[in-house]
């Protein structure tokens, strides 16, 4: 075992502990796949990342570092909030990009570019999206597991930009907030499910009888300032509900912008049901590239024995 630099970063928030944390091991050379997976299970975070030197081929294309991304249940080729959080930790640890105006990350889907944004935010270029229609049988099974009346469903689509999501667009934010899924049933479907709805000017009230009701109400009030409300359920990979999800928001933006549902720039909120206040900025540039950005803030720094 070796002492290695370690950082825990909260992503998609400027205020610590209101976003989505990612654990980052900054010196991961020599670690086996088994050790990485074991540590990711131990952190019990939705993702843990391991920073490595880039391959020679990727370095020649401008890559600055390589990252491997693990959930408690397995490795991902790409994920959004770990991309932003790892870049944040790498910069704070003294990482110097080859190009001053961007960072290039090597990961399972290839090279991902990050660029600085306003107010000390960063954004990543969303990987290309593949979309497929969803069968009526799959829609029925997922709606049943979510406890969702299909009458609230406007659109459904399989979304794949590295991670795979089944995306659902509902007719109201209230319907999104009211979901109380059967996570065991969701796991049996095999799908990670992302649910979204556009915010209205005057969101209604929802009664909740659990201990999180007060925090939920406060987060919900803050979320009403956004354009789209999102929830992510990933029991299929060991995460009941993810607080704020970059890859899902990337694919939702690519899908909903292409369908004319959402404009070329909007803000999404996620995490209200968990007492979080995640904010994601989505923007499509003149070349059609969707950028996914937000704030990141360091919460823990130190050493880990691995």
**pLDDT one-digit tens code per residue, 4-55:** 999 999 999 999 999 999 999 999 999 999 999 999 999 999 999 999 999 9
Flag whether pLDDT at 203 surpasses 80.
Answer: no
Identify whether residues 99 and 144 lie together within a single domain.
Answer: no
Identify whether residues 167 and 208 lie together within a single domain.
Answer: yes
250 within a domain of the structure (yes/no) = yes
Q: Give the pLDDT of residue 237.
A: 87
Flag whether pLDDT at 208 surpasses 60.
Answer: no
141 within a domain of the structure (yes/no) = yes
Determine the average pLDDT of the residues in 195-209.
62
Q: What is the pLDDT of residues 88-107, one digit of tens each?
A: 999 999 999 999 899 999 99
CATH code of the domain containing 237? 3.10.310.10
Q: Give the pLDDT of residue 219.
A: 52
Identify whether residues 241 and 258 lie together within a single domain.
Answer: yes
Q: Which of 5, 89, 118 lies closest to 296, judged by CA?
A: 89
Q: Give the pLDDT of residue 212.
A: 46
Determine the average pLDDT of the residues in 258-268.
97
Identify whether residues 10 and 121 lie together within a single domain.
Answer: yes
Number of domains in the chain: 2
- Rounded to two decimals, what is the model's pTM? 0.90
Domain with 91 in it: 3-126+294-305
Average model confidence (pLDDT) for the chain?
Answer: 92
Identify whether residues 165 and 236 lie together within a single domain.
Answer: yes
213 within a domain of the structure (yes/no) = yes
Identify whether residues 153 and 198 lie together within a single domain.
Answer: yes
Q: DSSP states of the chain as a string?
A: --EEEEEEEEES-SSTTSSEEEEEES--TT--HHHHHHHHHHH-SS-EEEEEPPPHHHHHTT--EEEEEEETTEEES--HHHHHHHHHHHHHTT---SBTTBEEEEETTEEEEEEE-GGG-EEEEPPPPEEE---HHHHHHHHHHHT--GGGEEEEEEEESSSEEEEEEES-HHHHHT----HHHHHHHT--EEEEEEPPSS-------STTHHHHHHHHHHHTTSSEEEEEEEGGGTEEEESS-HHHHHHHHHHHHHTTSS-SEEEEEE-GGGT--EEEEEEE-TTS-EEEEE-EEEEEEEEEE-
Identify whether residues 234 and 137 lie together within a single domain.
Answer: yes
Q: Give the pLDDT of residue 297.
A: 98
Identify whether residues 35 and 119 lie together within a single domain.
Answer: yes
**Would you say 179 and 193 are in contact if contact means Cβ atoms under 8 Å apart?**
no
Q: What are 174's two structure tokens?
A: 């209230």
Identify whether residues 136 and 207 lie together within a single domain.
Answer: yes
Q: Give the pLDDT of residue 175.
A: 97
Identify whether residues 134 and 271 lie together within a single domain.
Answer: yes
121 within a domain of the structure (yes/no) = yes
Determine the average pLDDT of the residues in 125-147.
97
145 within a domain of the structure (yes/no) = yes
Identify whether residues 146 and 273 lie together within a single domain.
Answer: yes
Q: Give the pLDDT of residue 242.
A: 94
Q: Give the pLDDT of residue 204.
A: 41
Determine the average pLDDT of the residues in 286-297.
97
Per-residue pLDDT band for 220 (boundaries 50, 70, 90) equals low
Per-residue pLDDT band for 221 (boundaries 50, 70, 90) equals low
Task: Look at phi and psi of residue 74 and say left if phi exceeds 0, alpha if psi is from -120 to 50, else beta.
Answer: left
Q: What is the rounded CA–CA span in Å between residue 296 and residue 161?
A: 22
> Which has more pLDDT, 224 or 259?
259
Identify whether residues 275 and 134 lie together within a single domain.
Answer: yes
96 within a domain of the structure (yes/no) = yes
Whole-Å CA distances, 154 to 148, 186, 195: 12, 20, 11
Q: Give the pLDDT of residue 238.
A: 85
287 within a domain of the structure (yes/no) = no
Q: Give the pLDDT of residue 244.
A: 96
Flag whether pLDDT at 164 surpasses 80.
Answer: yes
Flag whether pLDDT at 142 surpasses 90.
Answer: yes
Q: Give the pLDDT of residue 87.
A: 98
Flag whether pLDDT at 199 surpasses 70.
Answer: yes
Instruction: Please report, rounded to a whole number, the percentage of residues in the chain having pLDDT higher than 70.
Output: 92
72 within a domain of the structure (yes/no) = yes
């Amino acid at each position: 075992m070796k002492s290695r630099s370690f950082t825990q970063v909260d992503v998609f928030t400027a205020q610590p502990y209101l976003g989505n944390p990612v654990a980052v091991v900054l010196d991961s050379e020599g670690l086996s796949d088994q050790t990485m997976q074991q540590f990711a299970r131990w952190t019990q975070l939705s993702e843990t990342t391991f920073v490595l030197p880039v391959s020679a081929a990727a370095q020649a294309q401008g890559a600055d570092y390589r990252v491997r991304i693990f959930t408690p249940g397995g490795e991902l080729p790409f994920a959004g909030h770990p991309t932003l959080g790892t870049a944040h930790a790498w910069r704070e640890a003294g990482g110097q990009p080859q190009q001053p105006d961007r960072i290039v990350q090597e990961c399972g889907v290839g090279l991902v570019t990050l660029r600085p944004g306003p107010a000390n935010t960063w954004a990543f270029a969303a990987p290309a999206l593949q979309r497929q229609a969803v069968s009526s049988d799959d829609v029925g099974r997922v709606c049943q597991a979510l406890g969702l009346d299909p009458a609230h469903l406007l659109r459904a689509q399989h979304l794949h930009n590295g991670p795979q999501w089944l995306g659902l667009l509902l007719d109201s934010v209230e319907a999104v907030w009211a979901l109380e899924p059967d996570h065991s049933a969701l796991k049996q479907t095999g799908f990670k499910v992302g649910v979204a709805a556009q915010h209205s000017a005057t969101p209604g009230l929802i009664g909740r009888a659990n201990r999180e009701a007060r925090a939920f109400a406060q987060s919900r009030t803050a979320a009403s300032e956004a354009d789209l409300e999102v929830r992510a359920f990933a029991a299929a990979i060991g995460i009941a509900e993810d607080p704020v999800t970059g890859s899902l928001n990337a694919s939702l933006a690519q899908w909903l912008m292409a369908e004319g549902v959402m404009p070329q720039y909007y803000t999404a909120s996620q995490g209200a049901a968990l007492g979080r206040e995640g904010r994601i900025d989505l923007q499509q540039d003149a070349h059609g590239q969707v950028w996914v950005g937000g704030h990141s803030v360091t919460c823990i720094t130190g050493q880990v024995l691995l």
